[in-house]
Structure formats: structure tokens, C-alpha cells
Homo-oligomer: A and B are copies of this chain.
Amino acid sequence: MAKGKNVEQITDMDVDFAQWFTDIVTKAGLIDYSGVKGFFILRPYAYALWENIQTVLDARFKELGHENVSMPLLIPESLLQKEKDHVEGFAPEVGWVTHGGSEELAERLCIRPTSETLFCDHWSNVVSSWRDLPMLYNQWCSVLRWEKTTRPFLRHREFLWQEGHTLHETAEEAELETQQMLNVYAELCEEYLAMPVVKGRKTDKEKFAGAEATYTVECMMHDKKALQSGTSHYFGDGFARAFDIQFSDRENKLSYPHQTSWGLSTRMIGGIIMTHGDNNGLNLPPRIAPVQVIVIPIAAHKPGVLDKASELVSRLKQAGVRVKSDTSDQSPGWKFAEHEMKGVPLRIEIGPKDIENDQCMAVLRYSGEKISVPLSALEEQTKQLLEQIQKSLFERAKEYLTSNTHSAETLDDVKTILNERGGFVKTMWCGNLECEMKMKDEAGVTSRCIPFEQERVGAVCPICKEPSDTMVVWGVAY
């Protein structure tokens, strides 16, 4: 294991996971704290991760026919209040603008916590016929939620996200859209972020304010807690009625359209850290890493070393690899530690001996494995190694999720599992809020979702003992 200034300063993840997380976000140069609680600065390395997530999602959204738009930052209080459940869910945690320049505003404006009300207001202006549907919109922006407790990436008062909003002729079409976009999130998580997901539906208690149904992808972090990673909501025609959006349908009758929204945020960066990171720092899946390969010259003062390092960088760049070299005046050991902290998936070392032997040394961040690579096969083997790392990170996380997900038939079993091992617990559930609340009070877990892949892990609800056909996954959530 490489040693350097950064490694010495980081808290052991198994001693204090929360502090380990905080250490990483600052030491890896992801976050700086601003002067306002809960407002964080995303430094270039964090923002580059977000840009890579954006690139994947934005392309996928557009392939599926969505268009980007920009809605206002501010929502008049009266507009926020139009949908009853929605305002109840969000009004307690918004920031209020009361003055413009030196003048007090006639009506106070809230900074968007989410933009359903704005999209609905716009649609009520522009939708009149079935020919105008579907509306398939998305926006990349920041939203504000005035949280009491805040943490980098996981709970910001301001966070970056995308929010998709769509409007459809029929309920069926809207339901399909909701599912489709959930699958896009699952694909991003599993194929790019190497984070296996549990896909399912939220219980009524946990669903989005104003939604008929909320679907979610839930991931398991290293501390076995759950991270809700992307949600997709089906609204029925509730908002359309509240905002009086009507269209003449194919039979020329006035109808209310059906609506969805779906969002994913920079909290995923927290998820990447807590899924793959270790006591040496970040550990990035190659497909999403801002730098996939770091080239480090060994004995850089020896003739030919720097030239050769720069040749390797050119070749890899040419081959489409995101590659950099570290030619600073620090020691190789310091550099190893630095780029391990930054989670660069692959390190390539090149020194005089390597040059003599027409090879370089590839070191895998996630396993520490060292592989000698003939320079003639540099591009090919680098790409293979990156794919292998991507796959291995996913498999390791999948194995972690599986082995830390347990089944239980009684409340006592649930408590024992959580006390002794932690993780997710699957039980049957009768569907009643009372039992869901009791599970929280007694076992300290919330329902993460009703998984699409149902199993029969018992016959009755562990709380009320009524016969139950529905399986729920419970966990402690971020």
C-alpha cells in the first residue's frame, strides 16, 4: 500500500465511516465548504464526475425523445399552493425571497425545491390538443431544500440534479414513461457507476408529495445503509386538474393529461464514494472516472523517462482513454498516494528498467494488483484492464448487496439481524401504515421499496401477523 501525506490523514472507514467520508470529500479535492451551511462548492474533480453522469443521461434522455428546457428559479407562493399534497410536502423546507433590490415584493417567491408547479403552469399555456402531446421535457439545474442537517453530496440545501417532466394523453403511456425512466437510472447505476440496485415501488408513506406512485432504485453503501439513488413518479391527472391543463383528445373531447417526473442528483457522487471507496481514498469506476489512467514516471530525471511517459500519454489519448501524467516534482510514493486518494482506476508506472524491457507496469486501484504490460500492447491491454476493473467493481458491490440482504419473518428476527449484521431486511408486509410506522419505531428502519422482483419470505406481516402477499425491503437510509 502506497504511503503519503494524504493516506496518513484519512480516518479508517471501519472506525468512523462518517468521518472517513468527510475526509475523502475534502482530501480528494471534491468539495469545499461555503459560508452558508448546506451550500457546498463542487470543485473541478467533483464537477467532472457530474459532467460524466450528465453526458450518459443526457444522451439517453434525448435518444428517448426528451428535450431540455429552462424553467424559472423562483415560484410564486400562490403557484406552489395549487396542489395540496405537494405544497404540504415542500413548503416547510424552501428558501423565501422577499425583497428585490430595496423593494419588498408584493408576493413572496420560493426558490424551487422541484419544478412540477412551473411545468404545469407552462403547460396550461401551451397544451391544447392531443397533437401537442406527449411533452417530454428535462432540465439540468439546482434546487433548494432547507434541510436542518446537511452533509456533502448526501444532503445539501442546494444540489444539482436533472428533473424530467412529461405529459401524456393516457395513463398507460405515462405509466410506461415512469418505468422507462426508472430503467434509465438503473442502467446508469449498474453499467456506469457499478452500483447494483434494488428496483421497486415506494410505499404510500415514502412516495413523493403529490404523486400517485413513486418508483425508486435503492443502492447499498459500504456501511450497509441504503441510498435512494433515483426516483420516478407517476402523478395521474392530479396536477393537471389542479392547474387546469386540458386538451382536446382524438375524439375531440376535453381531457386531462397524465403526468410524470423523475430526478437524479449529485448525491450519486456520495453513492460512488460510499460504494467503492476504501482506506486509501476514492475508487472510481472507469466509465465515470474523470481520469482513467495516471501515468507516473519513475526516476524521472533519467534520460528518456519523461519522453517515454509523454509518449504513453499521447498513445492512450489517441486511443480514446482519459489519461494524464503526473510530472510534478513530488516523489513517486507521494504521487501513488495522491492518485489513489483520487481513485484513478489505473496507474501506469514507467521507469528506465521498463523502457529497457519495452514494458510498463499497470497497477489496479481497486485491487492493488500489478501487471506488466508490453508497450506494443499498451492501448489494447489498458482498455481491457479498464473494462475488467469496471466489471469487478460491479461484481464486488453486487456480492456485498446480496450477502448483506437478509430475510426475516418476525420483528424479533428483524431486530436481531439489524443489531448483529445490519444491511437490508426483506419481510412480508400487510400494506398498512401502522405496521410500517411500528417497524420504524421498533427496528429503526424505513421501507426502502416494494421490489419488482417479489419473493415469498414468509406468510404474514411480522407486525400484525395478518396474511400478506407483499414483500418489502427495509433498511436504514441516508
> Which A residues form the contact surface with B (CB < 8 A)?
32, 34-36, 39-44, 47-48, 50-51, 67-74, 76, 79, 92-102, 108-109, 111, 118, 121-122, 125-126, 137, 141-142, 144, 146, 157-158, 160
Residues of chain B contacted by A111 (CB below 8 angstroms): 73, 97, 111
| In the bound complex, CA of A51 to CA of B55 (Å) | 13
Residues of chain B contacted by A50 (CB below 8 angstroms): 70
Q: Is the CB of B42 within 8 A of A76?
A: no
Q: Is the CB of B67 within 8 A of A35?
A: no
Task: Determine how close the nearest CB of chain B comes to the CB of A72; give it in whole angstroms.
Answer: 4
Given contacts A47-B68, A73-B142, contact A102 B97 (CB under 8 A): no
Given contacts A73-B111, A73-B142, A122-B41, contact A68 B48 (CB under 8 A): yes
Task: Determine how close the nearest CB of chain B comes to the CB of A415; give it in whole angstroms.
Answer: 34
Nearest CB in chain B to that of A96: its residue: B99
Given contacts A34-B118, A74-B158, A125-B32, contact A69 B47 (CB under 8 A): yes
Residues of chain B contacted by A51 (CB below 8 angstroms): 68
Q: Is the CB of A72 within 8 A of B40?
A: yes
Residues of chain B contacted by A40 (CB below 8 angstroms): 72
Nearest CB in chain B to that of A43: its residue: B69
Q: Is the CB of B99 within 8 A of A34?
A: no
| In the bound complex, CA of A96 to CA of B74 (Å) | 12
| In the bound complex, CA of A390 to CA of B1 (Å) | 58
Partner of A68, one of B44, B97, B137, B146: B44
Residues of chain B contacted by A121 (CB below 8 angstroms): 34-35
| In the bound complex, CA of A41 to CA of B95 (Å) | 21
Q: Is the CB of B73 within 8 A of A144?
A: yes
Partner of A72, one of B41, B48, B71, B98: B41
Q: Is the CB of B101 within 8 A of A93?
A: yes
Residues of chain B contacted by A157 (CB below 8 angstroms): 100
Residues of chain B contacted by A41 (CB below 8 angstroms): 69-72, 118, 122
Q: Is the CB of B42 within 8 A of A69?
A: yes
| In the bound complex, CA of A42 to CA of B157 (Å) | 25
Residues of chain B contacted by A72 (CB below 8 angstroms): 34, 36, 39-41, 158
Task: Determine how close the nearest CB of chain B comes to the CB of A34; give it in whole angstroms.
Answer: 5
| In the bound complex, CA of A161 to CA of B160 (Å) | 16
Q: Is the CB of B109 within 8 A of A99?
A: no
Residues of chain B contacted by A160 (CB below 8 angstroms): 70
| In the bound complex, CA of A95 to CA of B157 (Å) | 18
Q: Is the CB of B101 within 8 A of A36?
A: no
Nearest CB in chain B to that of A109: its residue: B36
| In the bound complex, CA of A93 to CA of B160 (Å) | 25
Residues of chain B contacted by A42 (CB below 8 angstroms): 69-70
Given contacts A35-B76, A36-B74, A144-B73, contact A67 B48 (CB under 8 A): yes
Q: Is the CB of A47 within 8 A of B70?
A: yes
Q: Is the CB of B97 within 8 A of A96?
A: yes
Nearest CB in chain B to that of A329: its residue: B131
Residues of chain B contacted by A158 (CB below 8 angstroms): 72-74
| In the bound complex, CA of A50 to CA of B146 (Å) | 30
Given contacts A36-B74, A74-B158, A125-B32, contact A137 B101 (CB under 8 A): no
| In the bound complex, CA of A72 to CA of B152 (Å) | 13
| In the bound complex, CA of A94 to CA of B98 (Å) | 11
Task: Determine how close the nearest CB of chain B comes to the CB of A37; give it in whole angstroms.
Answer: 9
Q: Is the CB of B36 within 8 A of A76?
A: yes
Residues of chain B contacted by A74 (CB below 8 angstroms): 36, 39, 95, 158
| In the bound complex, CA of A73 to CA of B146 (Å) | 13
| In the bound complex, CA of A46 to CA of B50 (Å) | 24
